[in-house]
Chain A
Amino acid sequence: MTPRICIIDDDKIYQFTTKKIIANAGISGEVLVFSDAENALSFFQSEANNTSILPDIIFLDINMPFMDGWQFLEAIEPLLSKFPKQIQIYLVSSSVDDADTERAAKIPYVSGYIFKPFTKEKLLDSLAHLQS
């Protein structure tokens, strides 16, 4: 199976390199990319029942304008149980602040916390969890 991957991050360079890393890892298929968490949220709301369009895994940036990663998590929580499939959410950040990692650890529906830079190894590691 080819996992459907979703990236939510306002950093264009990060989007570019992450897509390249995914492609280089041999994962084919479309990668959903959102620069704006609010747009991503309305996408999930409208496609809540669409198994073939919903991603298997979300790499969510914490620090974004308008709606940040935390606000997105809060907004999507009620939807998670309604989705026809389980979606893993990883927080991705350049922040090494303990406060951020501790906060993430307290949220049960967050699967992990990835420090930037995003690499092939980190990608494969999170996908391995997905398949198990």
Chain B
Amino acid sequence: MALPDSEILQLLTSISRELVCLHETDGTYIYVSPNSKSIIGYEPEELIGKNPYDFLHPDDRRLIFERSHQPLLRGEENIHPTFRFLHKNGTYIWLQSDNRLTTHSLTGKNYLHTSSRDISEKIESDANLALSERKFKTLFRDSPIGLVLTSTHGYIDDVNEAFAKFLGYETFELLGKHFSEISSTGELEENLRYRDSVQKGMIDHYSIEKQYVHKLGHLVWAYITVTVLRDDSGEAIYYLAQIIDIDERKKTETQLLENNEFLKATKNSLLIQNKQLQSYNQIISHHLRAPVSNLRSLLDLLKITGVEEERRELQNHLEEVTENLETVLSELITTLKIQSLENYRPEWISILLTFQKVQKLMEGEFQKKNVHIELNVTEKELVFVSKEYLETLFLQLISNSLQFADPSRELRIGVESFSMGSETTISFSDNGLGVDLSRYGDQIFQLKKTFHRQMSGKGLGLFLMKYTMESLGGRVEVRSKPGEGATFLLHFPNGSAANA
């Protein structure tokens, strides 16, 4: 059963969110749809016969008249004005209308037809958006912290004054550059790894210390925090980097670290020098004062002795002691030469060639004692030292091995080398008598210490070797077992540490 037209109209307009009205050409309400209460707070009867201009926001009246009302009367179509309308509760709400001119088919009279909806909510959120955008823009531009907006591909979309100034550029010069163009290569990998994690959504922001390249070419330190900006679907669209200038602090920090390193090195070299001075004191006491006191005793005895035979014996002893003194003195002079490193010129020296040279010098001795040499070094293995020092060290080691060879077997001497960290090590081993290190370990490099009864070593050779190695910034180690032989490890610093 069909409803009468008026009822259908009633039903449709009451559920619609559109306020439908019919106006005289001057705007006077003739019809207001029954849902008017829910949209603008008035019952239809309250409006009929009134003019909408009385309800428009004063600022919008002129706009409506000129942009909507008049064009409509001229016959223009598709006019959708947005305006503020006074709700019955006293506040203005935003309405948007579709307005049309309509002509009565019988009378030919013109009417205005409006269909309006409340868009206050949308207007508000748009306004908020615009406001927050404006806030962000201001914040971005005026922030004292450097700010950079880069695309997901790493190209710079926007930078602020603070950042441009930090790197010595004008802001426009930086736009469009790829961020890697202004970053030092040092932290690039770390930076990219983080960006990758951000892009994959594993993290949302990260902070690192990195170096940028200033327009003038030097590097400047910055502490940066990078935040990802995502769209509604969660897709990363921008990276926002906040950059704090920490160049001064980093430079001070580096300077402090360097100073600290220098102090440590100085302290070490002082400790070594102190130990060497103590050893020197020992040499003076035992190697110089002892023979000198012998000389004194012999001379005193010579004064009171009348017997010719005794005088000759004393003279022989005097000669012996004098010779001994001369030897000790020349050894001491060698040590002193080692200590004054001003003329020390280390270079990369072939271990093999140097050893072979020393081997040639000792050939007679080696043949006489039937010494077997095993060289496990190639010509390319180098050590950073002066040639004479390395020769002296090899001579000392060889004479040590000869002196402490086990008479019951053929002497074998082995030489090899290896590198580890900032050191190159020469390993020199023999199958001699060896030393009981658990008993003599702390004394082996001391003066006038010999460990085998049948030998008369003065113990100066190993002392000199340790002294030399320490003066060069290196060190020496010994490994040995009685009856099996000994291995000496000479650790040489590679390069600058030698001068520390």
Contact = CB atoms under 8 A, between A and B. Distances in A.
Given A65-B451, A97-B285, A13 B301 contact: no
A83 interface: no
Given A13-B294, A66-B451, A117-B294, A94 B301 contact: no
Contacts of A13: 291, 294, 297-298, 317, 320-321
Given A63-B448, A65-B449, A17 B285 contact: no
A18 B301 CA distance: 10
A117 B296 contact: yes
Contact of A20 (B285, B301, B459): B301
B293 interface: yes
A114 B225 CA distance: 76
A63 B286 contact: yes
Nearest to A65: B450
A21 B320 contact: no
B317 A16 contact: yes
A18 B297 CA distance: 8
B494 to A, nearest CB: 37
Q: Could you say which of B289, B294, B296 has the most chain A C-beta atoms within 10 Å of its C-beta?
A: B294
Contacts of A93: 285
A17 B294 contact: yes
Contacts of B290: 11, 14, 63, 94, 116
Contacts of B293: 14, 94, 116-118
A77 to B, nearest CB: 20
Contact of B289 (A20, A65, A95, A118): A95
A17 B451 contact: no
Interface string B280-305: 01100110011101101110110010
A46 interface: no
Contacts of B297: 13-14, 17-18, 21, 117-119
B281 A11 contact: no
Nearest to B290: A94
A119 B459 contact: no
Interface string A90-117: 0001111100000000000000000011
Given A11-B294, A17-B294, A20-B301, A65 B448 contact: yes
A66 B453 CA distance: 8
| Interface size grouping (class) on chain B | 20 to 34
Contacts of B285: 63, 93-97
Contacts of B289: 94-96, 116
Given A96-B289, A119-B300, A14 B294 contact: yes
Q: Could you say which of A11, A13, A95, A118 has the most chain B C-beta atoms within 10 Å of its C-beta?
A: A13
Contacts of A66: 450-451, 453
A105 B296 CA distance: 27
A13 B294 CA distance: 7
Contacts of B320: 13
Interface in B151-184: none
Nearest to A24: B304
Contacts of B321: 13
Interface string A33-46: 00010000000000
Q: Could you say which of A11, A20, A24, A96 has the most chain B C-beta atoms within 10 Å of its C-beta?
A: A20
Contacts of A118: 293, 297
A95 B284 CA distance: 8
Contacts of A20: 301
Contacts of B300: 117, 119
Given A16-B317, A66-B451, A116-B293, A94 B459 contact: no
A35 B450 CA distance: 14
Given A13-B321, A63-B286, A95-B282, 13 more contacts: A11-B290, A13-B298, A14-B294, A16-B317, A17-B298, A17-B301, A63-B290, A96-B289, A97-B281, A97-B282, A97-B285, A118-B293, A119-B297
Interface of A: 11, 13-14, 16-18, 20-21, 24, 36, 63, 65-66, 93-97, 116-119
24 contacts: A13-B294, A13-B298, A13-B317, A13-B321, A14-B297, A24-B304, A63-B285, A63-B286, A63-B290, A63-B448, A65-B451, A66-B453, A94-B285, A95-B285, A96-B289, A97-B282, A97-B285, A116-B289, A116-B290, A116-B293, A116-B294, A117-B300, A119-B297, A119-B300
Interface of B: 281-282, 285-286, 289-291, 293-294, 296-298, 300-301, 304, 317, 320-321, 448-451, 453, 459
Cβ-closest 3 pairs across A and B:
A117-B293, A116-B293, A17-B297
